[in-house]
Chain A
């Protein structure tokens, strides 16, 4: 069955550094992958979508890569700020449904 792995441990980084979050998947080749941000007690907020024929996508301080050979997506936040602290979820397309990973909690400290 489809398995999506995100770092279960929290990622703690210093303000100004680049945060890199990993999403690995097995047993499937999704047509696209999405990244969401979720704050405690709130609904996820869409950040970026990357398709299987795209290697990289950028939006302001965010960058996503998609390596279909490694079955991995990397999510980067450059010049991180304390306001970036949240849980970040990756979601893979599977037969027109979105399958979410369990998320990685990012903590940016001053």
Chain B
């Protein structure tokens, strides 16, 4: 158990819909990262937040957005969903920066029908 929690574990929705994925980092970790993992793309970095502020951005689509709240939990919002958004979404946390060990959560499996 990494100490990072993600909800829900599974999510099935239809194209065009909007969903919210939630992540609680390990106690004491200030950084939260979001990744997308699909079969053909591997693990892709989406975005990082540090202590409530956006720190780094990857190939995150404009339809996707995230935020980190004062209690340090984070949410990833995916809107106007497409079939190609079906993937595993992982949240990771670290003490501060990306060269600290990143602890990954169990992931949320999103299926868009």
Q: Is the CB of A96 within 8 A of B43?
A: no
Query: For residue B18, which residues in chain A have a CB less than 8 angstroms away from its CB?
Result: none
| Given A43-B2, A100-B43: A31 touches B99 (CB 8 Å cut-off) | yes
Decide if B92 is an interface residue (CB 8 Å cutoff).
Answer: yes
Decide if A25 is an interface residue (CB 8 Å cutoff).
Answer: no
Q: How many residues of A contact B (CB 8 A)?
A: 21
Q: Is the CB of A97 within 8 A of B56?
A: yes
Q: Is the CB of A103 within 8 A of B42?
A: yes
Beta-carbon contacts under 8 Å, B75-113 to A? 88, 90, 92, 97-99, 101-107, 109
Query: For residue B88, which residues in chain A have a CB less than 8 angstroms away from its CB?
Result: 41
User: What's the minimum C-beta distance from B7 to chain A, rounded to whole angstroms?
Assistant: 14
Q: Is the CB of A100 within 8 A of B106?
A: no
Q: Is the CB of B45 within 8 A of A100?
A: yes
Query: For residue A44, which residues in chain B have a CB less than 8 angstroms away from its CB?
Result: 43, 90, 104
List 15 contacting pairs A-B, 8 Å CB cutoff, sorted by A: A32-B99, A41-B88, A43-B4, A43-B90, A43-B92, A43-B104, A44-B104, A45-B104, A93-B98, A97-B48, A97-B58, A98-B33, A100-B42, A100-B43, A103-B42
B residues neighboring A (CB under 8 Å): 2, 4, 33, 35, 42-45, 48, 55-56, 58, 88, 90, 92, 97-99, 101-107, 109
